Structure 1
């Protein structure tokens, strides 16, 4: 997950404070992250080098420093990110977690009929329960064009998704629900547009705040070995971004509610009884 977010958000430098408290296993994970993403990694250690860190430092090139001025110089000469990259401004304004009691809820767009659900689960609640007696609910429109999303409502939703959902695939899945109102059972059937198959359930021109989520989900799925890079997207599986098990569908539903998002009520079509002939 960390590798997917690091690459998708363009993070180039991690500073790990109190690194002397990190276990040997976590240090190995950090070094694997550094090797895979090619980031600059700075470990802040208080006191002597811990036993778990010593053998790792022997195996990787590093530059130790103890003086405060040299440490400041190291940080100033490193690859510093002073402003948000283009299209990433939503990720620099975190939303509080847990959500405050007076935070407004947003109602997802109406659920589309496509993609059809092959084997829908039975007994899944269509609309989560809201603990507050009179919640503030704001309806979100379905996605039509990227220029339709300059408002504060969608900015707030983007900030909640990034701050409150750690799993990149689950975050992108919740974003897909925000854009089109898909139910959790429909997510596994969603397809992306490809050159071979331009017609898809999610359009190619997505809003800017969705693009890093989609990229992080793609990287994570590729790291899991679910995408064959030697095949076109419509054959490799890259055009189906959400491979969700039944329990992951529950996780996505929980993440949706954590972001104060609720599905629109399912509107039943009026029945037209056949008229009896006289």
Structure 2
């Protein structure tokens, strides 16, 4: 179930915001359960961590201790989905910490595209009332089943939050295990989909890791490729990718490696979708199709994409979900990227060790870069 299908009328007039008001719970939501581990028995925590099975549509969020930033819990959600945020202390990380609404839209978009139907949250006795508000707003939007694990006495923030909701309390380990295993997704993941969670891409990127050329509609000459390699000072193996329009439904070994990087290293869904569309179409950033209309491809009734490689399905749909949350009234057409977005997509490509070849006959590839230029695979994506 996607935000487009669950969002209320207010979502048609402005961006979705992670706000929740007691007494205004949407009817028909899946159960909310509090697992109360009164004696702080680690067996409860172990059961919750073992319940983390994204392939079944269930994730376990392990909140960062004493993280008071408004976006902190959203970041924990993204990490549980296998998304790597910029390194702590970088300018990009500061931007993410300051943009709570965007971080929660990003989390909601990925959850909807990846069909996450059950969210388990541990250490809820350490969560602030503001984070509970954001979490319940996410539940309202996505219609997810929510299980909260509280260790020790119930803190005032959790008691206050639950006082306005219908919920069930579980006290025994056996009952907790039954609750943690429960999931009834409306549109569960399938084994045929690209299993992005089966392998993690190294982050930050390793120096000298294999890299790729961005596919282009017209193949540059060998001379252009050699000149571009010298200009970029590539010190790694350059792996081939299928030509534009010839990506098979299931990825080959090289495409699989790149797909894992796209899923793990790019946290913003619009930037991930834009880069996937660049790879599939060979078009420059200014001419990318909209995620909702990727070329001649179509959508199935439940909202799944057809006619494109399986590894790109979630990336493109997540970008579309985010756009629906960020600008519900946006017009369909070419993907509109701001100057900031274009820079972010370029940085994301570098983080995935994807490099742009010069156009055939261009003199760009015949000149060396300036001394001290950034080496491939060693920069981090710009973020909001």
Shorter-chain TM-score tier:
0.7 to 0.9
State the distance in 2 between where 1:266 and 1:248 align. 22
Matched with 1:268 is 361
Q: Residue 254 of structure 1 aligns with which residue?
A: 347
The answer to whether 1:97 aligns with 2:203 is: yes
Secondary structure class of the residue paired with 1:256: helix
Q: Does the CA contact (< 8 Å) of 1:193 and 1:202 recur in 2?
A: no
Corresponding position of 2:268:
167
Match status 1:222 vs 2:324: yes
1:37 is matched with: 142
Identify which range, 20-29 or 256-265, moves more after superposition: 20-29
- Deviation for aligned residue 1:36: 0.9
Q: What is the TM-score normalised by the length of structure 2? A: 0.56
Does the Cα contact within 8 Å between 1:8 and 1:212 map onto a contact in 2? Answer: yes
Q: Distance in 1 between matches of 2:362 and 2:332?
A: 35
Give the 3-state SS of the residue equivalent to 1:106 in structure 2.
strand
Q: How far is 1:153 from its partner?
A: 1.1
Over 3 Å counting, the alpha-carbon distance change for 1:193 and 1:14 in structure 2 is: closer
Query: Is 1:86 aligned with 2:184?
Result: no
CA–CA separation in structure 2 for the residues paired with 1:72 and 1:65: 10
Quote the residue 1:183 is aligned against: 284
The superposition leaves residues 243-267 of structure 1 with CA deviations (integer Å, 9 ceiling, x where unpaired) of 3211111111111111111111333
Post-superposition offset of 1:22: 2.1
Q: 1:243 aligns with which of 320, 323, 336?
A: 336
Conserved? CA contact 1:108–1:181, under 8 Å: yes
TM-score (norm 1): 0.75
- Cα deviation digits, residues 18-62 of structure 1 (max 9, x gap): 222222222111111111111111122222222222221112222
Give the root-mean-square deviation of aligned CA atoms.
3.1
1:140 CA drift (Å): 2.4
CA distance in 1, matches of 2:182, 2:196: 27
In 2, Cα distance between the equivalents of 1:155 and 1:203?
24
Match of 1:73 in 2: 178
1:90 deviation in Å? 3.0
Give the deviation of 1:85 after TM superposition: 4.3
Structure 2 stretches of 5 or more lacking a match? 1-105, 219-227, 298-306, 364-384
State how far apart, in whole Å, the 2-side matches of 1:88 and 1:133 are. 30
